Structure 1
Amino acid sequence: MIASLPMYLRPENRDAHDAWWARIRDALRVRGIDAPDALSQDAPIHATWGRADLVLGQICNLPYRSAFKDRVTLIAHADFGLPGTAPGDYHSCLIARADDPRATPQAFDGATMAINAADSHSGWGAPWMHMQVHGYAPARCVTTGAHRDSAHAVAEGRADFAAIDAVTWAMLTRWDGVTQALRVIGRTASSPGLAYITAGDVDPAPYRAALAEALNALPPAARAILGIRAITPADPARHTALPIPPAPPN
């Protein structure tokens, strides 16, 4: 069996993740759910989503609705208290270089966009939806593999703009100097945030209760590092109602 919570993992918050998992693990076991002693944080993310022995993981809502909705159970979202965003939802910050004179996302029509992955809602799905409403599109996309790497690609001039998960953007602002070379030029609409999942079709209630109980038991310093304010229920229908974007232009 395996548990992995890798989506917002950084060296600065790894200890806090481990402390939270220790409490989640114990809360799951009290509820009769077997759980591994430690997180497998370095396991390949896509591979964990398809494992029949996944006890707890995280998934972006684009791969969930496009490939995994019939294979996993949505449990809950974390509420990070993002401004102008409902609890448990998130949005993407549209960013460009600080010295780029283009002031709006629409001004980047025909530009080069950095994306973390083609199956990322925050990196591609949400901005694609924004583009449909506001009438612009990139001429090509550079795939970087991670939101942090997309930010660096823009800062270094390998791309003109990118969409960065707002939670990741907050962490970059806190812990990574790259944001000093960048600025926010807009934001996408809100949508369901990264979801906690487990394998198969099961009752999510005891898992959700374990997450909430563990969060409440977490020392304030660790909770502040994670930035999680609460655990909110997940509604699969909100995920599956979103469109599947086309492949990004190469």
Structure 2
Amino acid sequence: MYDWSEMRDEIDAQWARLRDAFRQKGIDAPQTIARVNADLRPVEGGIRDAAGKVIAPDPATLPPDELDFHGLWLHPALLFAQTCWGPMEIGLSEHVQVIGQPNYDAFEGGQGELYSSAIVMRADGAPSARSPDDGSPLVPLDLLRGMRFTFNNSDSMSGLVGLTRDLEAMGESLDMFSERSESGGHRASIVAIAEGRADVAAIDCLSWALAQRFEPAARQVKVVGWTRRRKGLPFITARTTPEKIVAAMREAVAAAG
């Protein structure tokens, strides 16, 4: 889920360590990870659920150089992937098993398996807001009201669902924004704010850390608040993955930290 182009070598190295740990436990882990639809095995007639209903198209029928995340997550041959609790809550959890959670201690806004999103707006010279130590939400309603809100996608916990729930707990809703638009990604949301096409977005703390390393537009954006800490993006496998393999992967992921 954090496979930015600048991170490819790091992601590949992370997978190599996990792959080798899996193989030591007798798991037939692939040499490399799938990044595009062409990397996925064809599923004639489409991907089906346990009842035989088609729930995703055959990857071979999709643009080969793109990646349909839902098709990846639902693929019957899925060994290991990362998803978001947004899709999990709206049906994905019925088709997969959770292997574990990443650790977010290294990032402001993270604590163990919990993470929060930085609420960002265009920089104005004032200092950025620090993440509350107790993980409580810090949502500056007066700053946000009437602003143009952009989010990565409609089922994202970090970019939309989490902030929506925090606003509802404060007696507010997304209606407080003058506009809402879907950017297609956290990085795209940051660029939209820097370029003046949007005013505010919620960016998960790891993506915000990556943006500060790799995205020049992040220098024109600052943090004005934080969402409540919630469970981070889980690692998953197919529902049909045998229990013995699931247990072995859980051990390997836990050992990897």
For residue 98 of structure 2, give the secondary structure of its aligned residue in structure 1: strand
Q: Measure how far apart 1:136 and its partner are.
A: 5.1
| Alignment of 1:190 onto 2:184 | no
Q: Measure how far apart 1:84 and its partner are.
A: 5.5
1:77 matched residue in structure 2? 101
Aligned length: 208
| Alignment of 1:157 onto 2:193 | no
Q: Measure how far apart 1:37 and its partner are.
A: 1.4
**1:110 touches 1:136 (CA, 8 Å); kept in 2?**
no
Q: Report which stretch shifted further, 120-129 or 10-19.
A: 10-19
1:117 matched residue in structure 2? 153
Q: Measure how far apart 1:31 and its partner are.
A: 2.0
Q: Measure how far apart 1:130 and its partner are.
A: 1.6
| Alignment of 1:55 onto 2:79 | yes
Q: Measure how far apart 1:17 and its partner are.
A: 1.4
2:29 pairs with one of 35, 47, 66? 35
1:101-250 mapped onto 2 (5 Å cutoff) = 105-107=140-142, 108-134=144-170, 135=172, 137=174, 138-200=177-239, 202-203=242-243, 204-213=246-255, 215=256, 230=257
Give me the TM-score of the superposition, normalised by structure 1.
Answer: 0.77
**2:100 touches 2:254 (CA, 8 Å); kept in 1?**
no
Encode CA deviations 1:26-50: one digit per residue, 9 max, x unaligned.
2222223222111112332121011
Q: Measure how far apart 1:113 and its partner are.
A: 0.5
2:115 pairs with one of 71, 84, 90? 90
For the aligned residues, what is the CA RMSD?
A: 2.0
Query: For residues 100 and 117 of structure 1, do their structure 2 counterparts lie closer, same or farther at Cα, with a shift above 3 Å needed?
Result: farther
Give me the TM-score of the superposition, normalised by structure 2.
Answer: 0.75
State how far apart, in whole Å, the 1-side matches of 2:140 and 2:34 are: 38
Encode CA deviations 1:111-141: one digit per residue, 9 max, x unaligned.
2111000000000011101211233532331
Encode CA deviations 1:191-237: one digit per residue, 9 max, x unaligned.
01011100015544311222244x3xxxxxxxxxxxxxx3xxxxxxx
User: Match of 1:48, as an amino acid?
Assistant: L
Q: Can you give the 5+ residue segments of structure 1 that lack an aligned partner in the other structure?
A: 1-6, 216-229, 231-250
State how far apart, in whole Å, the 2-side matches of 1:46 and 1:167 are: 22
Q: Measure how far apart 1:74 and its partner are.
A: 0.6
State how far apart, in whole Å, the 2-side matches of 1:100 and 1:115 are: 24
1:4 matched residue in structure 2? none
User: Match of 2:16, as an amino acid?
Assistant: A
Q: Measure how far apart 1:186 and its partner are.
A: 0.4
For residue 6 of structure 2, give the secondary structure of its aligned residue in structure 1: helix
State how far apart, in whole Å, the 1-side matches of 2:108 and 2:148 are: 28
Percent identity, aligned pairs only, is: 34
For residue 36 of structure 1, give the secondary structure of its aligned residue in structure 2: coil
For residue 198 of structure 2, give the secondary structure of its aligned residue in structure 1: coil
State how far apart, in whole Å, the 1-side matches of 2:198 and 2:209 are: 21
**2:98 touches 2:236 (CA, 8 Å); kept in 1?**
yes
User: Match of 1:189, as an amino acid?
Assistant: R
Higher relative contact order (CA 8 A, sep 6+): 1
Query: For residues 110 and 136 of structure 1, do their structure 2 counterparts lie closer, same or farther at Cα, with a shift above 3 Å needed?
Result: farther
Which one has the largest radius of gyration?
2
State how far apart, in whole Å, the 2-side matches of 1:17 and 1:85 are: 20
Q: Report which stretch shifted further, 12-21 or 203-212.
A: 203-212
User: Match of 1:191, as an amino acid?
Assistant: R
State how far apart, in whole Å, the 2-side matches of 1:84 and 1:36 are: 33
Encode CA deviations 1:145-182: one digit per residue, 9 max, x unaligned.
10000011111111110000110001111222212111
